[in-house]
Structure formats: structure tokens, C-alpha cells
Amino acid sequence: MSLLTEPFQDALYVIEKIEQAGHQAFFVGGCVRDSLLERPIGDIDITTSAKPDKIQEIFDEVIPVGIEHGTVIVRYHDVSYEVTTFRVESDYSDGRHPDSVQFIDKIDLDLARRDFTINALAMDKYGNILDLFKGKEDLHNGLLRTVGNGKERLKEDPLRILRAIRFSSQLGFKIEKDTLYAINDVKPSLEGLAVERITVELEKLFAGKFVRLGLKYMNDLGIEKHLPILNNYQILQKLGDRIRPVHSLEEVVCLIHQTEPSIDIRTITKGWKCSNKVLNKAIILNDAINYYKSHDLTNILVYKLLPDLHMSFARLTEILFTQKVNEKKLFRLKSNLVIYSKKDLAINGNDIIELFPDRKRGPWIQDIITQIEELVVEGKIENNNSILKDWIKWNPPGVN
């Protein structure tokens, strides 16, 4: 079988153009690894002897995302290709970026700077694999092994510790013995990393098909003691074998809070520097989980849960409770809802003001709408203008 599967076919153009200009270019890293494993290919990364300014000359559409580190994005047929010049790098003393990079004209040292043997594979335009560190053998045996001396490589950039664990969670691979020892030695250096980088890896780790294996490594190695939020609790131990893959950061945040209710959601999102979008979704999910605990699956719960959070909610119930919520039932309740938002109510603020012309406007109007909304969603009252008006007349707002 040719390794140059469909996603690589378009990318061949990029490689060929660079070669025609007199430079070398290869597919590299995750795309080669995943192609050999016959897994779906994520982004296609290209490594080249051409300097970034040359790449900018060769292609029409180039986005200079990290020129100082040698990386630009080439756009071709609406796909982005990360093209990086062969380079070597020094320490990551700020926990974020290498202190300096040096461009080189041969690929070998560029492959040597990569984290794991399975990520240090390159492939040419014919599908030939360049494998300087026995990466194919490790792929075959399902092993994560650092390129070169484990301790040195992990010290250079301790994020590689978390990357090892997240690859084990994604691929179901074991961590090779010496690499494991090195992780154990170097783990306190995790504390110097930029939080954003940690969060990205944690999100991928929790989404891995083999997350149970990943969390077992985290536990056995005592990694959580060196990570924000997780450091003062035994959350992963509590989660134990119940864990299953979750596919978004908001799910992870909600799961952590549900497992250790003494850490509130805002503390987690702040500690992990999550966006407000993640915070808001985590709150909605968490409210839904709490509501579910006391009321089971009701119309109101489904109504308040945004449609794009349905799957997240179902996945969380499977981990947190003995029984997963029935997705079919969830979707049936959703499609049978009488209204999807307040706007669909057959009554509005003006109708209510007209019913009580002598009352000063105030929050009481919203209070009535919220009451009516719940009744309509629960099917206790018909969404019909005159029926709703009658109900309000018989249940007038309290005096306040």
C-alpha cells in the first residue's frame, strides 16, 4: 500500500515546488507517524532546507506565523501546511520557546531535535521513509522513546513529559523503560512550564482513546503533583478506572469539579488559563449534571443545554454515574420541545405590561416570563397567547 494517501497528494505540490527551487523538502512528524499507523492524518507538516524568506518567494500565499523559529504556513487549495526550515535549538528557559534556533542545511540534526523516535520520521515525495532513530521499530512495538538521552531531552523541554503521556493516551503506547526513569527524574521541572502549553496537552490527553492508560501513567509517576489545579488533590486517583475519553476542555473542567467539588469551576479555568467560552460551557454542563442528579432527564434540562453540549453531557454522565444517559431519549426530548428559546413564547414583555397597566416596569416582568417559560417547556401549559394571558391574570405578580 502506498503511504502517500489522499491528504498527501495535494501536499506533494508544496514539496515539488520547493524541490524545483533547488531545496530539499520532506513530510515530517505526526503525519508520517499516523500514516504508518493507518490512523487519520491531522495536519501535514513539512520540513525543508529552504529558509523562510525563500518559501515566501516560492509561494503566493504564505502566512509568517513563526518566522524567527523558521515556521511559515503555506496555503494551497484552502489547506494550511506548516513549513519549517531544518533547525537545531537550544534550551527552553522560559518554558515556552527555544532560547534560540539555528537554521541548518541537512535534515539529520533536525530529526534529532524531535521529541520521540516515532515523531522523528520523515517521508519523501515517493513515500520513502527516513528513519534515523529506529522509529519504525518503536511504532511496531508500540513504544514511546525519546530521541537521544532521555534526561537531557526532557530537561531541555519538560513539556515532552506530558507529550509522552498524551501520546500513550492517544495511541495506547507504552513508555519505554529508560524514558520512564527519565520522566521520574525530571518531573519537578514541569512546574516551570507555561500553563497554556500544559492545558493543550491535558486536553489531548483526556480525549485519547486510551485515556485510562494515560491517567495510569500520571498516577504511577505522580505527575499531578507538579501540575496546576491537580497538585493539591488526588483527583486522578479518584477518577480511577471510571475514566473514559472526553472531547473538549469544558468537559475536562466539569469532570474535575464533579470529582472534587471543593475546587470550583472558575478556579480551574483560571488556573489553566482557559477562555471565557470554555468557562461558560463548563458552567452550563455542570448545571445540567447537577440538575440531572436531582431531577433525572427532563425537558427543562434539555432545553437549557445548548445543542452542541448534548454529546458532552452524555459522555460525562457515563463517567459520573453508573448509567449513561440515553442519547436517543436526549435527542427525542430535544426535537419534541415546544420552544427553543424565550423568543418562541407566544407572549412577550409588552403583552404583560398591557395586562398590568398601573404597575411600574421592573424585574417582575422577566420573572413572569421565566415562570411561563418553564411551564411551557414542561408541557404544563399551552404556548398560546390568550391561554398564557389568562394564566398570568390568575397568577398575578406579587407585590414588591
For residue 116, the Cα-to-chain-centroid distance in whole angstroms is 21
Q: Is 94 in the site for Mg ion (CB under 5 A)?
A: no
Closest to ligand ATP by CB, 149 vs 366, is 149
Q: Is 157 in the site for ligand ATP (CB under 6 A)?
A: yes
Site size with Mg ion, rule: CB under 5 A: 2
Partner from Mg ion, ligand ATP, none binding residue 208, C-beta < 5-8 Å depending on class: none
Residue 213 — φ and ψ, nearest 5°? -65, -45
Sheet holding 62-66, edge to edge: 62-66, 71-76, 79-85, 45-48, 25-28, 122-123, 129-130
Partner from Mg ion, ligand ATP, none binding residue 157, C-beta < 5-8 Å depending on class: ligand ATP
Q: Is 160 in the site for ligand ATP (CB under 6 A)?
A: yes
Q: Hey, which residues between 60 and 119 contact ligand ATP (CB under 6 A)?
A: 114-115, 119
- What DSSP designation does 227 have? S
Task: State the minimum distance, in angstroms, from the CB of residue 160 to ligand ATP.
Answer: 5
Euclidean distance between CA atoms 38 and 397, whole angstroms: 64
Q: Is 29 in the site for ligand ATP (CB under 6 A)?
A: yes
Contact range with ligand ATP by CB under 6 A, out of 137-145, 157-165, 234-242, 284-292: 157-165
Whether 83 and 55 have beta carbons less than 8 Å apart is answered as yes
Partner from Mg ion, ligand ATP, none binding residue 119, C-beta < 5-8 Å depending on class: ligand ATP
Task: State the minimum distance, in angstroms, from the CB of residue 325 to Mg ion.
Answer: 33
Question: x/- binding map, residues 31-50, to ligand ATP, per CB under 6 A?
Answer: -----------xx-x-----
Looking up cell 427532563 gives: 298
Q: Is 192 in the site for ligand ATP (CB under 6 A)?
A: no
Task: State the minimum distance, in angstroms, from the CB of residue 170 to ligand ATP.
Answer: 7
38's torsion region: left (phi>0), alpha (psi -120 to 50) or beta? left
Task: State the minimum distance, in angstroms, from the CB of residue 173 to ligand ATP.
Answer: 12
Alpha helix (H) residue ranges in the chain: 6-20, 30-36, 52-58, 107-112, 135-141, 150-156, 159-171, 177-186, 195-207, 211-221, 235-239, 249-259, 265-271, 276-295, 299-304, 310-320, 327-335, 349-355, 364-377, 385-394
CA distances from 287 to 24, 88, 190, 254, 260 (A): 54, 49, 33, 10, 15
Site size with ligand ATP, rule: CB under 6 A: 12
Closest to Mg ion by CB, 163 vs 216, is 163
Whether 139 and 181 have beta carbons less than 8 Å apart is answered as no
Partner from ligand ATP, Mg ion, none binding residue 207, C-beta < 5-8 Å depending on class: none
Task: State the minimum distance, in angstroms, from the CB of residue 226 to ligand ATP.
Answer: 17
Euclidean distance between CA atoms 222 and 191, whole angstroms: 13
Q: Hey, which residues between 25 and 84 contact Mg ion (CB under 5 A)?
A: 30, 43
Closest to ligand ATP by CB, 115 vs 176, is 115
Radius of gyration of the chain (CA): 27
One of 8, 23, 30, 214 touching ligand ATP (CB under 6 A): 30
Residues found near Mg ion in the complex (CB under 5 A): 30, 43
Using CB under 6 A, list all residues that contact ligand ATP.
29-30, 42-43, 45, 114-115, 119-120, 157, 159-160
